[in-house]
Amino acid sequence: MIDWTATQTVEAVRAGEVSCAEVIDSTLERCARVHRATGCFVELDAAAALRRAAAVDRLTGEQRRAHPLVGLPYAYKDVFVHGGRAPGVGQPRAHLMYRATEARSLVDTDRAGGIAVGRLSLDPLGYTTTGLNGPLGDTRNPWDTSRISGGSSAGAAVAVAAGAVPVAIGTDTGGSVRIPAALCGVVGLKPTYGRISRRGATPMSYSQDTVGILARTVHDVALMLEVLAGHDPADPGSIAAPVPRFRPPGGPGDPATLDGLRIGVDPEHVSHHAGPEVTTALEAACAVLVGLGARLVEVDLGAFAGYNTAAGVLTGTEVLAVHGADYREHRAEYAEPVRTRLDLALMTPGSAHPDALRLQGRALRDVLSGVLARCDLIATPAAGHTAPEIARMHGNPSAAAEVNLALLNLNRPYSFLGLPSMSVPIGFAGDGLPMAMQLAGRPWSEPTILRAGAAYQGATAWHTRRTPAIA
């Protein structure tokens, strides 16, 4: 069952082809094996998962059909309140971290028939992008365990890539879903700001935080988004936007066309941020989209460097708003990469935050009337290079900081703008590691992004590759 997609798993349980207990037994066994090799879980909750599986097996056929995620095992980044338990947030002193009401996104998943099997690892505070966490243990890439997984939704990408779970829920403030998805070869969606409720998730940057979804296929991401999207008055950032059908027409293997879709590309932006192999892979991926009927349009993403800088200001000052008092009192207990970034935020002038907020609105207006008036989607790499070696960064703070910034540069501008964007695997480099394309669009354009991503996966087979066997 480890090769089943989320859609296949739900269909099998709903049809009675397999019991939910069998699915969860198999999932828990695989989760334990994957964790031993990669460190992707904080905790497995086998007892609760098996209880819920037994309850699903008692449902009638009609009741199963009423649950869109019936019997689906999933796992979640350890930033959510679930089962009345506060999240650990990648910190040893979890009891002092932010506590909130039960996470809306997890409640919705459970009510739809999903079964949580455990909490997933992350960078300390979710504030870096490597998956390295000295105090609690590093998360390793399942394609090569000597490499980083990317982060901060590190365990989520690894668990999905290695077949431990078919889908995972993470958070993305500057790339924390898209970056590990890119480095681990899975699909990672950051929806439009306000699309999914953040209630019950530990905040980092109130103006940029989003809940995201990771899966092996675009269709599975869309399946989850249909359950999680919607307005929540309890989340001040939630927006009452219409919730359309997100799943693209047809099935995951059906041919699709993208006739008339305009894809914006900026070769200079790509060459500045990506190496030759990733650049070539992105060009090949765009050629596939053109073969499906899309048209390439050259755009100018030069302003994105400034958006990236402003996003960093917002994140740093807003993280301090949440954790500053605790940080000032217990600085030595925070991981070194977090200390470096928070110390920089402490030195940021007080006017920088409102200045960045003012730019945020103008920047969105400029992009909508400029770049996104000329195209429907923007295509860039999701990561400029494949996952670097862990040994390169251990004991080398400058190397870790360099990697962190390089990974943020391609992703953070879309978080600053509040735009939906998605990482899709587009091949493997000479080192055997995944490469990925990022597709981004206007606010609320997830259906278009998902349609393009699904069409690409229907015409290619990169997403069907499996990680090496994990003993």
Q: Which residues are catalytic?
A: 77, 152, 176
Contact 88, 38 (CB under 8 A): no
3-class DSSP state of 253: coil
Question: Count of CB atoms within 10 A of residue 85's CB?
Answer: 15
Contact 210, 169 (CB under 8 A): no
Torsion of CA 122, 123, 128, 132, to 10 degrees: -120
Q: 377 - beta bridge partners?
A: 263, 441
Contacts of residue 176, Cβ cutoff 8 Å, sequence gap at least 6: 126, 129, 151, 152, 153, 170, 212
DSSP string, 166-228: SEEEEEESSSTTHHHHHHHTSEEEE--TTSB--TTB--S-TTT-EEEEEESSHHHHHHHHHHH
Tokens 């999680």 -> residue:
228
Report the candidate in 72, 83, 73 with the shortest Cα–Cα distance to residue 31: 73
Contact 87, 100 (CB under 8 A): no
What is the β-pairing status of strands 262-265 and 41-44? unpaired
Q: Compute the residue count for the chain.
A: 471
CA distance 23 to 368: 45
Contact 184, 142 (CB under 8 A): yes
CA distance 316 to 337: 13
Q: 211 - beta bridge partners?
A: 171
